[in-house]
């Protein structure tokens, strides 16, 4: 047997929380008398001490472990900080005028409330559906459309799909034209909107093996197995939640809201830990729909803040979600009743061969030098309603870091009559279409390139005007612009100028005397199409720019605010940047919004082939030369 990476558990201020800590935090809070048995929980994560405190922590010290909780009690929302180590409530604070995110247990009650409502049942029977057990309810964040009946309430807006058989893909049969607004606390149905009827589709769209074979024909039989083997084991090690691989090190946490969070990403050069990113996380995401039909237009889920990516993380399976020599980490979260939800294999860690790392053939001598590229992959997959989002962080031998978000799952669907205008949707089956929409992610990168005196610079390449110094009109050059304050750092991508941004240390230089830096290379990504003053634009302003830069404040963590459910217009980045603070020669946080415009294809049905969104960070003068120069040649004989 070959060796598996061993996991040694110990306690660090940034260790992942344990089931015991979650249970203890709820107990301490109940014992304190602040809450009664009706209180519900809407957030639970580790308290991250100030960065200096974390940095000065010495191995073997017992940290003061604290959890931050969001509690809904007697109609009010409170934030609590509980010291597990001391058994005390350090903080108990009323947070006025916010709506805590919906809990998973609450969601299933909302579905039941919807199904048992007579007006909704009447709407179903008018569409020929009499058995509510065949109805799938999708609760959606209702947004903020100024409905009086939603005022002061926590509301989910439900749309429905039909499942003639329990295992059917409901998205093949949208029950369009009906929306049900449900109060999450009282479970009252506040409003049933029944605005139109369309023909029900009759074509199934199941995607389990038996259905595929019976509906579409036999599975292909000529795919030979691929086995990934690492006979000497993996090249990484894990201590608690800290990873070490090929000079890289970082800690990882599965946060209830942000999902995967990477702390203290550093590169060890000749025994010196060189920090690059202090904290990398998904700060929010939004999925705005472009369709004007009432059952579609309200959709702009902020899936991270409104549901929680750690709450929706999958339990991954070897050989299916990940292949090769895999090490998994489990994660635990707190459910809305204060109990523990355990997700086994929530984080997948493995190495991948990544093709050619570098190569050259000397044309004169015929000498070939070639090295393989390899990367460490840390990933998790969240299922949020109809969609799957895979978050894949890659660390490479050449010093580059990549985030790739993989989007798959099922399209949400709507109905139409034959011959209807389909400006806002693409047809995917008879009488079924899927609306155009976007997926825009905002990643928060608390940068630390060789320390905390960083600058952010925009680099654009442009052609020079013809003239005596450009006689052939061929000249082009890259120019650098320092982004000096928050307003000037609200920037968008420009593929026409090969635009990128770089984060450099203003005090550290490389051997040639230039500042050490990392480049942020964006993809060709759009911003949000919804206008800035629309409900979508107001609640997810972060998606209106590809780049934002702020001086780092640890509590400024969420791009759409701490409580992005319903009433959050202007919260998050607009509020953080309102004072137009200076961002030079300081600890900077880079917020990068990127994503996909999903103009649906027929091939996205019945289940979507994976689509990709992301960005790359590459060293720029951070190293003295190609950092992968020391990668040894492959040992397999046939390559020489």
Instruction: Enumerate binding residues for Ni ion (CB under 5 A).
Output: 598
Give whichever of 491 and 598 is closer to Ni ion, judged by the CB atom.
598
Give whichever of 157 and 598 is closer to Ni ion, judged by the CB atom.
598
Give whichever of 454 and 593 is closer to Ni ion, judged by the CB atom.
593
Give the C-alpha separation, 23 to 28, whole Å.
9
Smallest distance from Ni ion to CB 606, Å: 14
CB 290 within 8 A of CB 437: yes
Cα 304 to Cα 102, 156, 401, 463, distances in angstroms = 12, 16, 22, 41
Give burial (CB, 10 Å; 0-12/13-18/19+) of 307: buried
Give whichever of 30 and 601 is closer to Ni ion, judged by the CB atom.
601
Smallest distance from Ni ion to CB 598, Å: 3
Residues sharing a CB contact under 8 Å with residue 157, sequence separation 6 or more, in sequence order: 139, 140, 141, 142, 143, 179, 180, 181, 182, 298
CB 611 within 8 A of CB 604: no
What SS3 string covers 487-520?
CCCCECCCHHHCCEEEEEEEEEECCCCCEEEEEE
Give whichever of 180 and 205 is closer to Ni ion, judged by the CB atom.
205
Give whichever of 78 and 605 is closer to Ni ion, judged by the CB atom.
605
Q: Is 303 a catalytic residue?
A: yes
Q: Which two tokens stand for residue 519?
A: 């480049």
Give the C-alpha separation, 385 to 301, whole Å.
10
> Which residue lies nearest Ni ion, judged by its C-beta?
598
Give the C-alpha separation, 559 to 69, whole Å.
19
Give the C-alpha separation, 400 to 513, whole Å.
22
Give whichever of 51 and 598 is closer to Ni ion, judged by the CB atom.
598
Smallest distance from Ni ion to CB 600, Å: 7
Smallest distance from Ni ion to CB 566, Å: 23
Q: In which residue are the tokens 């860690």 written?
A: 349
Give the C-alpha separation, 325 to 498, whole Å.
38
Give the C-alpha separation, 191 to 487, whole Å.
42
Exactly one of 168, 303, 587, 604 is catalytic; name it.
303
Smallest distance from Ni ion to CB 434, Å: 8
Smallest distance from Ni ion to CB 596, Å: 7
CB 485 within 8 A of CB 580: yes
Q: Edge-to-edge strands of the sheet including 432-435? A: 414-415, 432-435, 425-429
**3-state SS assignment for residue 63:** coil
What does the angle CA 592 – CA 43 – CA 379 come to, to the nearest 5 degrees? 50
Give the C-alpha separation, 35 to 101, whole Å.
18
Smallest distance from Ni ion to CB 439, Å: 6
Give whichever of 299 and 598 is closer to Ni ion, judged by the CB atom.
598
**What is the Rg, in whole angstroms, of the alpha carbon atoms belonging to the chain?**
26
Give whichever of 141 and 574 is closer to Ni ion, judged by the CB atom.
141
Smallest distance from Ni ion to CB 161, Å: 17
Q: What is the DSSP string of 243-273?
A: EEETTEEEEEEEETTTEEEEEEEEEEETTEE
Give whichever of 92 and 529 is closer to Ni ion, judged by the CB atom.
529
Pairing between β-strand 7-8 and β-strand 236-239 as defined by DSSP bridges: parallel
Give burial (CB, 10 Å; 0-12/13-18/19+) of 58: exposed
Q: In which residue are the tokens 């093709």 written?
A: 355
Give whichever of 300 and 598 is closer to Ni ion, judged by the CB atom.
598
- What is the largest distance, in Å, between two alpha-carbon atoms of the chain? 84
Exactly one of 47, 267, 289, 387 is catalytic; name it.
387
Smallest distance from Ni ion to CB 385, Å: 11
Smallest distance from Ni ion to CB 628, Å: 35
CB 170 within 8 A of CB 162: yes
Give the C-alpha separation, 251 to 57, whole Å.
14
Give the C-alpha separation, 241 to 252, whole Å.
6
Q: Edge-to-edge strands of the sheet including 174-183? A: 135-141, 155-162, 174-183, 189-194
CB 336 within 8 A of CB 607: no
Smallest distance from Ni ion to CB 160, Å: 20
What amino acid positions are annotated as catalytic residues? 303, 387
């Amino acid at each position: 047997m070959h060796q598996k990476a061993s996991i040694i558990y110990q306690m660090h201020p940034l260790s992942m929380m344990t089931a015991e800590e979650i249970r203890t935090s709820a107990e301490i809070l109940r014992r304190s008398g602040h809450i009664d048995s009706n209180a519900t929980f809407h957030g639970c994560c580790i308290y991250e001490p100030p960065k200096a405190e974390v940095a000065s922590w010495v191995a073997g010290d017992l940290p003061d472990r604290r959890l931050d909780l969001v509690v809904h009690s007697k109609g009010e929302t409170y934030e609590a900080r509980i010291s597990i180590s001391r058994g005390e409530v350090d903080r108990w604070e009323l947070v006025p005028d916010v709506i805590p995110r919906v809990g998973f247990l609450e969601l299933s009650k909302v579905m039941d409330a919807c199904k048992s409502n007579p007006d909704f049942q009447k709407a179903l029977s008018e569409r020929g559906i009499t058995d509510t057990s065949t109805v799938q309810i999708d609760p959606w964040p209702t947004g903020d459309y100024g409905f009086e009946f939603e005022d002061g309430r926590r509301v989910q807006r439900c749309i429905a799909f039909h499942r003639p058989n329990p295992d059917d893909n409901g998205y093949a049969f949208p029950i369009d034209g009906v929306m049900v607004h449900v109060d999450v606390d009282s479970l009252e149905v506040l409003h049933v909107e029944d605005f139109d009827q369309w023909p029900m589709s009759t074509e199934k769209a199941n995607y389990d093996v038996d259905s595929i074979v019976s509906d579409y024909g036999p599975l292909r039989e000529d795919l030979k197995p691929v086995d990934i083997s690492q006979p000497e084991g993996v090249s990484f090690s894990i201590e608690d939640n800290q990873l070490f691989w090929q000079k890289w090190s970082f800690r990882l946490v599965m946060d209830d809201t942000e999902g995967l969070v990477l702390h203290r990403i550093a590169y060890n050069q000749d025994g010196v830990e060189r920090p690059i990113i202090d904290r990398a996380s998904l700060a929010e995401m939004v999925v705005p729909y472009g369709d004007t039909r009432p059952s579609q237009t309200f959709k702009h889920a902020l899936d991270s803040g409104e549901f929680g990516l750690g709450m929706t993380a999958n339990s991954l399976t070897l050989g299916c979600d990940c292949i090769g020599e895999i090490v998994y980490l489990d994660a635990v979260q707190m459910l809305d009743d204060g109990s523990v939800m355990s997700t086994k294999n929530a984080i997948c860690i493995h190495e991948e061969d990544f093709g050619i790392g570098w190569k050259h053939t000397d044309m004169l001598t015929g000498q070939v030098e070639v090295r393989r590229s390899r990367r460490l992959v840390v990933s998790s997959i969240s299922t949020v309603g109809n969609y799957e989002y895979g978050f894949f962080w890659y660390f490479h031998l050449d010093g580059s870091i990549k985030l790739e978000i993989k989007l798959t799952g099922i399209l949400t669907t709507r109905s139409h009559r034959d011959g209807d205008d389909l400006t806002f949707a693409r047809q995917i089956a008879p009488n079924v279409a899927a609306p155009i929409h976007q997926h825009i992610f905002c990643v928060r990168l608390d940068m630390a390139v060789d320390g905390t005196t960083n600058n952010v610079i925009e680099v654009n390449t442009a052609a020079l005007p013809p003239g005596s110094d450009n006689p052939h009109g061929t000249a082009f050059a890259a120019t650098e612009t320092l982004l000096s304050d928050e307003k000037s750092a609200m920037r968008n991508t420009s593929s026409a100028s090969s635009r990128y941004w770089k984060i450099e240390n203003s005090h550290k230089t490389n051997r040639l005397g230039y500042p050490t830096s990392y480049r942020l290379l964006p993809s060709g990504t759009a911003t949000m199409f919804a206008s800035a003053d629309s409900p979508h634009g107001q609640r997810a302003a972060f998606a209106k720019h590809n780049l934002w830069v702020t001086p780092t404040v640890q509590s400024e963590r969420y791009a759409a605010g701490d409580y992005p459910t319903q009433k959050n217009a202007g919260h998050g980045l607009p509020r953080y940047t309102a004072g137009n603070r200076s961002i030079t020669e300081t600890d900077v946080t880079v917020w990068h919004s990127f994503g996909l415009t999903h103009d649906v294809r027929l091939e996205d049905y019945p289940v979507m082939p994976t689509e990709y969104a992301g960005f790359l960070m590459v060293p720029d003068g951070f190293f003295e030369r190609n950092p992968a120069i020391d990668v040894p040649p492959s040992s397999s004989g046939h390559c020489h």
